[in-house]
Structure formats: C-alpha cells, structure tokens
Amino acid sequence: MRNFCWAPRVTERLTINRLGHRGDGIADTAEGPVFVPYTLVGETVTVERVAGHPDRRHLVHVEKPSHERTPPICKHFGQCGGCAMQHWSLAEYHLWKRKLVVDALAFAGLVAPVEPLLDAHGEGRRRAVLHARRGAGDVLEVGFAGPRAHHIVPIDTCPVLAPGLAGAIPAAWAIAELLKRADKPLDIHVTATDSGMDVDVRGSGPLSADAMAALARLAEKHRLARLSRHGELVAQRAQPTLTVGRAHVPLPPGAFLQATAAGEAALARLVVAHVGKAKNVADLFSGIGPFALRLAETARVMAADSDGPAIDALKRAAAAAGGLKPITAVERDLFRHPFTAAELKSLDAVVFNPPRQGAEAQAREIAKSGVPVAVAI
C-alpha cells in the first residue's frame, strides 16, 4: 500500500499597480514586477506561481475588483487564449489602446498627432484558425490555444466570430473527427465570404481517396462554399468571393484578410483620404487588393506582393470590375527586391502595409524617393 502526500496549493495576495503593453496586470513586488493576466489597476487578487516563470502568476480570485471590471461576453474567457481584455470596460480599453501608440511614438522620439481609437469590431471576426489536437487520454480537442500555451482549449461557441462563421466550429469538429485517424495536429482555417464559408485544412498529411471523398461529403453536409487541403481543392459548391469597393475578388484558399470587414473598411477610408487626389499610386504588400481596388476608383495603381495567388486574384477582380482606373499588379518579393527610389520617384503617393516584421528595406527606398505622400498601415 502506498501513502500519497498532496502538496498544498500555495497562493499569495497582490495589488495590481499598472498594466503592461500586452494587457497583463503588473504588481510591483520586492522581487520585481510580477505579471498577472486578466487583472486591472487597483485590484487586489489572489494568485499562484507559474512553474518555470518566476515573474508570472495565475489568477485565482479577484478579492477587490476594479470599478472598471465588466463581465466577459464569452464563457471560455480566461481559459482560451484568443481574447485578453474582455474583463475591461470598452471605454477604458480604448483609452489604453491609444496610449500604447502614443507611448511607442514617444519612445522613438517622434511627435505626431494620434486620433481616438476607431472601434472596428463590426459584426465580428470573419476569419479564424481552429486547432485540433489529441489531448489527455487521447481525447480529441478542437478550439484555440490556451493563453501563452500550446495546449488546446476545446470550444463550442465563440461570440467574437461574425455571423458568416456561425457554422465554423461544428464544421471544424466534424473535420477533425473525420481525420483523427491520421493522428496529426490540424490547423483549420475558416473564412466568411460572400458565397459562404471557405475552409482550408493544414497539417493532415497525404490522404487516401476514401478520406478525400469523405471530406467532400462533409463539405456538402455543412454547406461549405469550398473545402481545400493545403490549398488543394477537395470540394467546391461556389467560388468564394469578397466584395471590395466595386470589385468582386475570387479568394485563393487561406487568403489573408483583415480580421473584420469593418476593420478593412475603416483602414481603406483612411488610406483613400490620406492619398487624396493623387493620380499615380503604388500599393505595396497589396495582398488581394483591399486598398488597390478602392484607390483605382480615382487613380492609376501599381500593386505588388510576394503572394502569387493573391496577385492573381487581384488581377482577375480588376479585369472584371467596371469603372476602375488601370491596376498593374505584379508578384514581387519586397523584402529581397524592394521598389527602388528611382522606381518610386514618379509616383504621387505610396501605400504600404507590410506584415509584422516590418519592411525596413522598402521603407528606406520610399524615404529616399521623395514621393510626396507615404501612407503606412
């Protein structure tokens, strides 16, 4: 017979003094700053240590809540890592989000006006990536990753998704269940389009003809516009398209889009307003053309991106749309081969929207070009 000794749960009380740039509450302690997610300034909280991370704590209980705390809209909040700030009142969140930009500019020694934050949630997220993994006890789990973790939090609902993704979670569970014998981690990309849901499955590995046929039947059952695997077509009921200004863009599988339609529209309005009356414009890192197709209503546009399928989609949309100025769309790696100052100097404006790693080489060429207007997103 074995005797088991259970270690007691060790907790501590902290007072949150400030917020970090990722939204974690920070308690200033004798050991240095300690980060506690899902907390607000002024709150007294009970926490426990995170193994291997001496400066982090798990929130156990909020003993003294802030008057700015609000009930989260999602039952999975706090376990799922998809959202970080549902516990904070929207007005205070807006002020904090704007201050992040103000502080970043100040740190860089830049003086620039910063407008109030525009809430561009709209109807919700029109794209998401659901993950499927085998969890403890070989149980299938489909959902989003936990906060700063690799494990999957199974979900059955997500209130931040747009109505066009209403069937995304059941479809993802069905796909994962069908492919679970492959015993591979799956990433299921779902996008709401004008034609219905577009789903691209990644990570399954090679599939048998029977598995592909089963996937096609599943796509029909869930009324998917298209189902693909690593971009390879499995089944299609309708070409997934997206309306951009006057154009209808045929989307390639897994196409990058702004997370919300309202966000894209808000950015596009700002871009068009800042470009003004320019007649010759470059749209760099253009993707499928959410800016190029709108700019072309009044200007000639040169669009470029390294994503070949996105550029092809932009070309097709521009060719089919009426009432647009000419768009020249080219596939080009702007990291290795940025447009040079000489190529840009004849333009009236440059718009560039690089990925998170930025576009230093291209930015330097824009700065040298003397182009009168540069709009960075």
Q: Looking at the structure, tell me whether residues 162 and 199 fall in a common domain.
A: yes
Confidence of residue 44 (pLDDT cuts 50, 70, 90): very high
Q: Which of 86, 105, 36, 131 is nearest to 376 (CA)?
A: 105
| pLDDT score for 231 | 93
pLDDT exceeds cutoff 80 at 13: yes
| pLDDT score for 66 | 97
Residue whose entry in the numeric block shows the structure tokens 């253009």: 286
User: pTM for the full model?
Assistant: 0.90
170 found inside a domain: yes
Q: Looking at the structure, tell me whether residues 291 and 204 fall in a common domain.
A: no
**Positive or negative: CA dihedral 288, 311, 254, 147:** negative
Amino acid at 215: L
Domain holding 345: CATH number?
A: 3.40.50.150
| pLDDT score for 182 | 67
115 found inside a domain: no
Cβ neighbours of 301 (radius 10 Å): 30
Domain holding 159: CATH number?
A: 2.40.50.1070
Residue-wise pLDDT tens digits, 71-123: 999 999 999 999 999 999 999 999 999 999 999 999 999 999 999 999 999 99
pLDDT exceeds cutoff 70 at 239: yes
**Is residue 27 within 8 Å of 37, Cβ to Cβ?**
no
Residue-wise pLDDT tens digits, 275-326: 999 999 999 999 999 999 999 999 999 999 999 999 999 999 999 999 999 9
| pLDDT score for 148 | 79
366 found inside a domain: yes
Confidence of residue 8 (pLDDT cuts 50, 70, 90): low
pLDDT exceeds cutoff 70 at 6: no
Instruction: Kindly state the average pLDDT of the residues 186-200.
Output: 97
Q: Which residue has the higher pLDDT, 137 or 297?
A: 297
Q: Quote the number of domains for the chain.
A: 3
Largest CA distance in the chain: 85
Q: Looking at the structure, tell me whether residues 131 and 230 fall in a common domain.
A: yes
* 116 alpha-carbon distance from chain centroid: 21
Q: Looking at the structure, tell me whether residues 370 and 265 fall in a common domain.
A: yes
Q: Which residue has the higher pLDDT, 208 or 181?
A: 208
Task: Quote the domain boundaries for residue 314.
Answer: 261-376
CA 16/CA 31 separation, integer angstroms? 14
Q: Looking at the structure, tell me whether residues 195 and 279 fall in a common domain.
A: no
Strands (E), the chain: 11-15, 18-19, 25-29, 32-36, 44-50, 53-64, 127-134, 140-145, 152-154, 186-193, 196-202, 226-229, 232-236, 241-244, 247-250, 280-284, 300-305, 327-331, 349-352, 373-376
Instruction: Kindly state the average pLDDT of the residues 240-267.
Output: 96
Q: What percent of the chain has pLDDT over 70?
A: 97
Confidence of residue 181 (pLDDT cuts 50, 70, 90): confident
105 found inside a domain: no
| pLDDT score for 10 | 82
Q: Looking at the structure, tell me whether residues 235 and 273 fall in a common domain.
A: no
State which of 206, 239, 272 marks the end of a domain. 239
Q: Looking at the structure, tell me whether residues 216 and 269 fall in a common domain.
A: no
**Is residue 227 within 8 Å of 207, Cβ to Cβ?**
no
Give the CA dihedral 90, 92, 96, 102, nearest 10 degrees: 110
State which of 73, 96, 119 marks the end of a domain. 96
CA 217/CA 220 separation, integer angstroms? 5
Q: Looking at the structure, tell me whether residues 293 and 345 fall in a common domain.
A: yes
